[in-house]
Amino acid sequence: MPVKGWIEVNDLYCKGCELCIAVCPPDVIQMDSSRLTSKGYHPAMLKSDGCTGCGICAVICPDAAITVFREPKKKKILVELEATDG
Ligand code: SF4
Ligand code: SF4
C-alpha cells in the first residue's frame, strides 16, 4: 500500500513559481486559481489524493513554503495462535 502523505502550503511564502508542480512524481499539486495570496499569487495546493509524502516538493521550493506530512506506518500486530491439542 502506498504511503499516505499530504502537504500544507504557507500563503505567506508561496510565490506561485510552479516548481513544486513540475517535480511531484504522482502529479498531485496544482495552483489554486480560485484564491490569491496577500502578495497576489495563486498558491500551490493538493489537487487530489495520491501524495506519498516523499518531500521532493518541499526540497525544491525556493521559499520553503511547503510542509510535508506523512501518515505513520501502521505497526504490524502479531497474533499468536495457540495450537490446539487434538
Ligand atoms: S515551489 Fe514553493 S513558491 Fe513555488 S509554487 Fe510551489 S509552493 Fe509556491
Ligand atoms: S510530498 Fe511528494 S508526492 Fe506529496 S505533493 Fe510533494 S512531491 Fe508530490
Which domains are seen in the chain, by residue range? 5-85 (3.30.70.20)
Q: For a ligand 1 pocket test, name from 8, 10, 20 the mutation site with the most ligand atoms within 8 angstroms of its C-beta.
A: 20
Residue located via cell numbers 500551490: 44
Q: What angle do CA 45, 51, 55 make, to 5 degrees?
A: 85
Q: How far is the CA of 17 from the centre of ligand 1 (A)?
A: 5
Could you give the 3-state DSSP secondary structure of residue 22?
A: helix
Q: How wide is the angle at C-alpha 64 spanned by C-alphas 41 and 31, nearest 5°?
A: 35
Residue 78 confidence class, pLDDT cut points 50, 70, 90: low
pLDDT tens-digit readout, 4-46 = 999 999 999 999 999 999 999 999 999 999 999 999 999 999 9
Type of residue at 32: D
5 CA from centroid of ligand 2 (Å): 8
SS3 70: strand
Nearest ligand, CA 2: 2
User: Residue 66's pLDDT is what?
Assistant: 98
CB distance 24 to ligand 1 below 6 Å: no
pLDDT at residue 3, rounded to an integer: 76
| 3-state secondary structure (DSSP) of residue 20 | helix
pLDDT at 51: 97
Q: Average model confidence (pLDDT) for the chain?
A: 91
